[in-house]
Amino acid sequence: MYVFVSDFFLEDTLGGAELTTSAIIKKSSLPVQQVKSGDLTSEYIRKNKNKYWIFGNFSKVPANILLFVSQNLNYSVIEYDYKYCDYRSPEKHIFFEMNCNCEKEKGGKIVSIFFANANSLWYMSKKQKDFYEEKFSFLKNQKSFVLSSVFSFETLQYIRNLNINKKSDEWIFLDSDSWIKGSMAAHKYSIENKLKTKIVKNLPHQQILVELARSKGLIFLPPGMDTCPRIVIEAKLLECELAINNNVQHADEEWFQDKQKIYDYLEHRASFFWAEINKEI
């Protein structure tokens, strides 16, 4: 049996990390016990010490618990963003406080120790992996993989079955409260390029896919490193034109250059993950 720790799960909130986590859990051949990071205690860890643990987003886990885990459990980590940084984004930290030296601070060092002691470390993109290994050179010795965003079979089938024969002349961008999603930059881009736009906010996931299927393009301009934004993958599969920047970290990877390659790649990510995890047990 596995224990999967995350700040939130799909039943709590709709986000890219939660959708990936859900797709991974669905593919497990063994039961997966879900635990919110804020509920994790040393007592719970001791009671479940013999299970294999997987940590997704863990921002609510206290530092002393992370150190306890690193010394007492068999575990893997899926890193969705940049949790060594207090803001989970060094650019966001610099934007608001003019500086980010989190790798030298206690919190950043504890996260790096937590990563280094994991049985395996899973990144969302090669650029994210390279960034971490440059920032913390000892992680180059860690068993690690690029996982990317993970899509469930049901989501891929839903995308395949959407009618995309007739596109509007509208471009979509997200009205998101998340700084990293770059809503203001997208709005500015649409004005400067005189694009007809449709703003998407707080829609159910399937409705977002429908809107992408109807739209000419997606504007997605994160102001900092966004490791593998799911909406960009969805937009490309739904044959949208893309207005993106270099902060979309998976954009140059070989699997993302062709629609069929994307499908072939995504169909096997969850199976690949569990095949490697099972080697650790």
- Please indicate, yes or no, whether residues 73 and 83 belong to a single structural domain of this protein: yes
Residues 162 and 181 grouped into a single domain? yes
CB 147 within 8 A of CB 104: no
The amino acid present at 11, given as its one-letter code, is E
The pLDDT tens digits for 98-156 are 999 999 999 999 999 999 999 999 999 999 999 999 999 999 999 999 999 999 999 99
User: Who's near 57: CB < 8 A, 6+ residues apart?
Assistant: 6, 7, 8, 17, 37, 80, 81, 83
Q: What is the CATH number of the domain that holds 126?
A: 3.40.50.2000
Q: Could you tell me if 145 and 170 lie in one domain?
A: no
**pLDDT (tens digit, 9 = 90+) per residue, 158-178?**
999 997 778 999 999 999 999
Domain residues for 196? Answer: 153-266
What are the CB-based long-range contacts (under 8 Å, 24+) for 200-208? 200/172, 200/173, 200/174, 200/175, 201/174, 201/175, 201/176, 204/14, 205/14, 205/19, 205/155, 206/158, 208/234
144 and 18 inside one domain: yes
pTM of the complete model:
0.96
Angstrom distance (rounded) from CA 90 to CA 101 = 8
- pLDDT value of residue 163: 75
Same structural domain, 157 and 138: no
pLDDT of residue 50: 95
What number of CA atoms fall less than 13 Å from residue 109's CA on the CB side?
A: 3
Retrieve residue 112's tokens: 């790096």
Q: Walk along the chain (281 residues) and give the pLDDT tens digit of each residue.
A: 999 999 999 999 999 999 999 999 999 999 999 999 999 999 999 999 999 999 999 999 999 999 999 999 999 999 999 999 999 999 999 999 999 999 999 999 999 999 999 999 999 999 999 999 999 999 999 999 999 999 999 999 999 999 777 899 999 999 999 999 999 999 999 999 999 999 999 899 999 999 999 999 999 999 999 999 999 999 999 999 999 999 999 999 999 999 999 999 999 999 999 999 999 87
Same domain, residue pair 87 and 159? no
Same domain for 196 and 109, yes or no, is no
- Whole-number Å distance between alpha carbons of 233 and 229: 7
Are 44 and 30 in a shared domain? yes
Whether 15 and 132 share a structural domain: yes
Instruction: Please indicate, yes or no, whether residues 11 and 61 belong to a single structural domain of this protein.
Output: yes
Axis crossing angle, helix 259-266 with helix 230-237, rounded to the nearest 10:
130
Report the alpha-carbon angle 265-271-207, nearest 5: 60
Contact, 5 vs 32, CB < 8 A?
A: no
Please indicate, yes or no, whether residues 116 and 234 belong to a single structural domain of this protein.
no
Examine the domain organization and report whether 246 and 274 are in the same domain: no
Q: Find, among 159, 168, 127, 123, the residue nearest to 142 by Cα.
A: 123
CATH of residue 246's domain is 3.40.50
- Nearest 10 degrees: CA dihedral of 120, 124, 128, 130? 50
User: Phi first, then psi: what are they for 6, rounded to 5°?
Assistant: -155, 155
Number of domains in the chain: 2
